[in-house]
């Protein structure tokens, strides 16, 4: 061949290559997946990659720089469309968000051979709303994978399946996670029950637990009378709780162990005040503490608790109940003048007994 003609053909070929259209965006091919989620649907796909932009750098021609190529319509729209077309989405199930943390395909060419490396990472979050109607997310599980391939520089068919199979694997992984965790993971619970257990033991140690069969006696007042106090006696009463929870069949079973108690070593009486009238006044302080505990129990019911934050609600209601106890105890002492007003004392006796009966504590 004439050198001049050969050189002209080379120039022509290079010119044609310069005007070749760019590699089209990668379109994920939908397919019917061999599993159907029974616990979730993918409500949203978000892009949280550190370096956003086209997902791929492809080696398309020998000796040329790699070309930036994205998924068709952008990474989030493309993956969401693939999921909607390939996975049965039951929107009555739990909504999940798929967060892309990595989606990157890098190719390098050596002669006519191309080495490709694809890395993929996603996290799945549960979408919900709090008591104020604001959207919230709860982290559930993560998935990461990578794949390597070798292809001829003229064949690009391996690119799309590599990305598609990683997306499918992540969906299969979260499906298995949800099937395994739905009945036992607190984050996925759909209901809550509350059980109360009260400590009514009759003991001989420093603590007296509230029990109608075991009213206070003067032998329970072991402390030395406080110097400078004008009162005839003083009883120390309080309450506490311990909480634990288990999850069964998607329901949180919250158990609260309650203690309504008085402390002997913190309670005292003057010798001249050891009579039935004064003892009744101190017993009524103990009764008031029991009333507060019963009110606390009414505040801690399934319809008043949030699945996402029930512990904080219980703690808040405990603090509020403690404040109520202090207010009611002060009101009782103020109105009865620490037991010195018999008429007011009798009114409080009737009031306390009536409320204890409404709670079923007294008959």
Q: Phi first, then psi: give them for residue 233, nearest 5 degrees.
A: -160, 165
With tokens 């209601």, the residue in question is: 317
The per-residue pLDDT for 362 is 94
CB 260 within 8 A of CB 290: yes
Joined together, the tokens standing for residue 39 give 């616990």
* pTM for the full predicted model: 0.77
From the first residue on, what is the mean pLDDT of each consecutive set of 10 residues in the chain (363 residues)?
47 41 86 96 97 94 93 97 96 96 97 96 91 80 97 96 98 98 94 97 96 97 93 97 95 97 98 97 98 98 91 97 98 97 98 98 93
Query: In which residue are the tokens 């720089």 written?
Result: 65
CA-angle at 67, arms to 65 and 73, nearest 5°: 175
pLDDT at position 86 is 97
CB atoms within 10 A of CB 205: 8
Using alpha carbons, select from 301, 352, 316, 99 the residue that is nearest to residue 195.
301
Which pair of structure tokens corresponds to residue 259? 């203690």
Predicted local distance difference test score (pLDDT) of residue 228: 86
The first and second tokens of residue 317, run together, are 């209601």
Tell me the sheet residues that pair with 238. 261
* pLDDT score recorded for residue 218: 98
Q: What is the largest CA-CA distance in the chain?
A: 133
- CA gap 11, 141 in Å, rounded: 55
Identify the structural domains of the chain with CATH numbers, from first to last: 24-182 (3.40.50), 191-358 (no CATH)
98, 122 contact by CB (below 8 A)? yes
Burial 277-308 (b: 16+ CB within 10 A, else e): ebbebbbbbbbbbbbbbbbbbeebeeeebebb
DSSP letters, 288-355, are: HHHHHHHHHHHH--GGG--TTTHHHHHHHHHHHHHHHHHHHHHHHHHHHTTTT-HHHHHHHHHHHHHH
Residue with tokens 């064949």: 155
């Amino acid at each position: 061949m004439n050198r001049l003609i050969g050189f002209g053909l080379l120039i022509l070929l290079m010119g044609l290559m310069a005007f070749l259209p760019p590699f089209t965006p990668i379109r994920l091919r939908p397919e019917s997946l061999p599993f159907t989620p029974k616990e979730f649907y993918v409500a949203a796909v978000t892009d949280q990659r550190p370096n956003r932009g086209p997902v791929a750098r492809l080696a398309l021609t020998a000796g040329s720089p790699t070309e930036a190529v994205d998924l068709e319509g952008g990474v989030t729209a493309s993956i969401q469309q693939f999921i909607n077309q390939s996975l049965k989405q039951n929107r009555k199930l739990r909504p999940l968000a798929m967060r892309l943390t990595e989606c990157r395909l890098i190719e390098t060419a050596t002669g006519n051979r191309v080495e490709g490396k694809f890395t993929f990472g996603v996290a799945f979050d549960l979408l919900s709303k709090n008591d104020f109607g604001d959207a919230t997310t709860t982290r559930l599980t993560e998935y990461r994978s990578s794949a390597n391939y070798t292809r001829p520089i003229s064949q690009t068919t391996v690119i799309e399946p590599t990305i598609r199979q990683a997306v499918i694997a992540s969906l299969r992984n979260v499906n298995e996670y949800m099937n395994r965790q739905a009945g036992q993971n607190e984050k996925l619970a759909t209901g809550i029950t509350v059980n109360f257990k009260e400590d009514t033991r009759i003991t001989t140690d420093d603590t007296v637990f509230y029990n109608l069969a075991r009213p206070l006696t003067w032998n329970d007042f072991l402390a030395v009378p406080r110097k400078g106090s004008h009162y005839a006696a003083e009883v120390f009463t309080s309450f506490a709780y311990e909480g634990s929870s288990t999850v069964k069949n998607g329901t949180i079973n919250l158990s609260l162990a309650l203690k309504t108690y008085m402390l002997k070593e913190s309670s005292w009486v003057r010798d001249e005040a050891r009579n039935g009238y004064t003892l009744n006044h101190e017993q009524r302080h103990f009764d008031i503490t029991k009333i507060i505990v019963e009110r606390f129990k009414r505040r801690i019911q399934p319809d008043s608790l949030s699945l996402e934050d029930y512990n904080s609600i219980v703690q808040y209601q405990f603090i509020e109940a403690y404040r109520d106890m202090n207010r009611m105890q002060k009101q009782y002492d103020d109105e009865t003048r620490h037991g010195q007003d018999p008429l007011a004392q009798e009114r409080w006796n009737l009031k306390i007994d009536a409320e204890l009966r409404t709670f079923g504590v007294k008959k």
